Amino acid sequence: MHSRYAVFGQPIAHSLSPRIHTLFAAQFGIALDYRAIEAGREDFVQVLDAFARNGGRGANVTLPLKEDAAALCAECSERARRCGSVNTLLRVGDMWHGDSTDGAGLLRDLREHHDFDPRDQRILLLGAGGAARAAAFAFIDAGAAELVIANRTFERADTLAAAIDAPSRVAARAWTELSIGDGFDLVVNATAAGHAGAAFDLPCDRLASRTFCYDLSYGKAASPFLDWARATGASHVSDGLGMLVEQAAESFAIWHGRRPDTAPVHAELRAQLVAASKK
């Protein structure tokens, strides 16, 4: 009998999660039924309940549902509770337990695939949604020297900065007041703007060539930010495909008690994205 899992979000048809988890399961001979299920904020509760009634044992959650998922959990891990964001659900009895693997996946990708350790670094985080919240706490826990959070709605950035409660190292900034010419080591885009296909715009004429620019999205959704970063002088840019695979591996381990090998999965998906970009 196949175990039932899914990823919920809107939009969701583009998601690589079903392929990722199918490849992970094959490494252990696990029979897995993992699907992408469309759900917006207005119908997420009903769709998730239907999934549970039909035998759903675990789920991933993506835009725009991570904070909503946290509110639905009977219990949350410490890291999910702190950041108020859940991307991994596990069914225990008739309740959902929530966890957040985004931060761990991001740090693992940065350290192992980009040779970037956030410790003692100056970081600019763009966005204040569910994924941004997980990233912010992960950066502070990893020892970042300074974290500036900017969001088009300043109040959301300010609320996140206050929740982290490290005033000597964390500050909120209005989008229109950003000045990154004084040098950040890492700029992370956690906004959803790229999913709408809009051009990326930030009040900055030039980035230091050493600045690493990283988008939490992947593929076409990451292109607007990465194109902007290259045009403004960044020599090292990356999308978030590695983070996607690494956070998925953390989720897989929560559900199945075994952590898969991410390297071949990452290589296969990167090759697929490159091939698709040439069509």
Extended beta strands in 12-142, E state: 32-38, 56-61, 75-76, 88-92, 95-99, 122-126
Per-residue pLDDT band for 143 (boundaries 50, 70, 90) equals very high
Query: What is the DSSP pairing of strand 95-99 with strand 88-92?
Result: antiparallel
Number of domains within the chain: 2
Which residues fall within 8 angstroms of residue 172, CB to CB, at 6 or more apart?
148, 149, 150, 151, 154, 157, 158, 160, 161
Quote the domain boundaries for residue 158.
103-239
State yes or no: 130 annotated in a binding site: yes
Answer yes or no: do 141 and 23 share one domain: no
Binding residue per annotation — 189?
no
Q: What is the pLDDT of residues 60-94, one digit of tens each?
A: 999 899 999 999 999 999 999 999 999 999 999 99
Residues annotated catalytic, as ranges = 66
Q: How confident is the model at residue 261 (pLDDT cuts 50, 70, 90)?
A: very high
Q: Which pLDDT band holds residue 50 (cuts at 50, 70, 90)?
A: very high
Q: Which residues contact 131 (CB under 8 A, 6 or more apart)?
A: 63, 66, 85, 87, 102, 190, 216
Task: Tell me: do 177 and 120 sit in the same domain.
Answer: yes
Lowest mean pLDDT among 128-142, 148-162, 169-183, 191-205: 191-205
Q: Based on the domain organization, do 92 and 109 belong to the same domain?
A: no
Band (pLDDT 50/70/90 cuts) for residue 196 is: low
152 labeled binding residue:
yes
Are 174 and 135 in a shared domain? yes
**Is the domain of 187 the same as that of 110?**
yes
- In the DSSP assignment, the letter for residue 13 is T
62 is in an annotated binding site: yes
Is residue 147 annotated as involved in ligand binding?
no
- CATH number of the domain residue 205 falls in: 3.40.50.720
- Residue pair 172/161 in contact by the 8 Å Cβ criterion: yes
Residue 247 counted as an annotated binding residue: yes
CATH number of the domain at 9, please.
Answer: 3.40.50.10860
Residues 78 and 57 in one domain: yes
Task: For residues 112 and 69, state if they share a domain.
Answer: no
